[in-house]
Amino acid sequence: MDSKTLILALVPVILAGVLIHAVNAAIQKTTDGPRWWLAGTAAHGIGLGLISLRGVLPDVMGIIVGDILAAGGFLILLEGVARFADKRVPRWLLAGLSVLVAVGFPFFTWAMDNAAIRFAIFGVAVITPCLMMLPYLKTIGQRDGLPGVRLLRYTIYYFVAALVVISFSVLVFDPDMPSVLAPNQMMAAGILSLIVVETNLVFGFVLLSAGRSATVLKRAALTDHLTGLPNRRAFEALVIESFTAPPAPDVATAVAVFDVDHFKQVNDTYGHDVGDAVLQHVAAILESTIRETDHVARLGGEEFVALIHARSGATVQNVAERVRRAVQEHPFVHNGHEITVTISAGLVEVTDDHPTLTALFKRADEALYRAKDAGRNRIITAAA
């Protein structure tokens, strides 16, 4: 089968890829990646279509524009992968490859007509962005999981190896080939490889989007939508994981349940919008005050919970008291008016080798009620 027929065989594959990317881009509206994949696949497909029409179209379209679009599509795909990883491709790299493509193809068509060198330029312009995708794919895999990343990674390895072998073979064994469409077994093998690559790229990018959606849904299920803190389910998982780890020596551990004092009065006086802002304010203070090794979450309503540790001679009571003072010393400002916010807390130390969260929450709640009864804005520790 000749190269032109094989390139035409790519058309339905690329059309299907464009359609899939269009649907994916319409679904994945929170990230730019799928839109760039759509543009890159479309540009690459148009370029291959123009290449297949060499001899019918003028050389400026069939050779120069076709090669530029076919190779440039991979630069667009690279930018899409980087944006999907919440990063950006270095501008100097994109500029350098763009110059190589924009200058190299016209030069080796008009000034020095050499199809072998044009193909080598095409190889460099495609291999470089493919390899540049790998670190971005690693970032995506760490965030969203590996299925799509693995497929794309192996596809890139295969494609790069195939292009290197084919480019080397053409330059060494057939440096005077008249065109990429001329009968050539190596070129035919390269185009067959491209069919495999195009198919894998489409499904790989769709798998990346599926992994991202799963991550977003999982995060939403474990996050309090108002404060951005973990919710009770996430907190329980973190605490269970912490309890299963070997206890560190000389480290005291406690669960503290915090409650915003007179929160109903805030809602009644200023409205629920201000009440929500107060909860966000308190959440930010709690999150910034506890250590990175501790955990804080919102239980619901005006209640928060924290797993705290005390080290270097400190006590869990000291840690909880530091949190209480931080809230008291940072009033919430509404329309230039300061609203004093305080919290009460019930604290229960973890002394059992196999504690249960149900028991810990119950004891912490009992201590919290005592703190409320005692006048609020204070920490009460549950009896041993």
Catalytic sites, residue numbers? 302
Q: Which residues contact 235 (CB under 8 A, 6 or more apart)?
A: 295, 297, 299, 305, 307
The answer to whether 44 touches 14, Cβ cutoff 8 Å, is: yes
CA dihedral 287, 288, 289, 293 (to 10 degrees): 70
Check: CB of residue 272 under 8 Å from CB of residue 353.
no
Q: How many CA atoms lie within 13 A of 82 on its CB side?
A: 17
Which residues are bridge partners to 305 per DSSP?
Answer: 257, 297
Q: What angle do CA 158, 160, 163 make, to 5 degrees?
A: 105
To which residue do tokens 């890139």 refer? 156
**CA dist., res. 106 & res. 254, Å (int):** 71
Task: Name residue, tokens 């804005």.
Answer: 377
What distance in Å separates the CA atoms of residue 75 and residue 231, rounded to the nearest whole number? 41
Q: At what angle do helices 115-144 and 185-221 cross, to 10 degrees?
A: 20
Residue that has been written with the tokens 């001679």 in this structure? 313
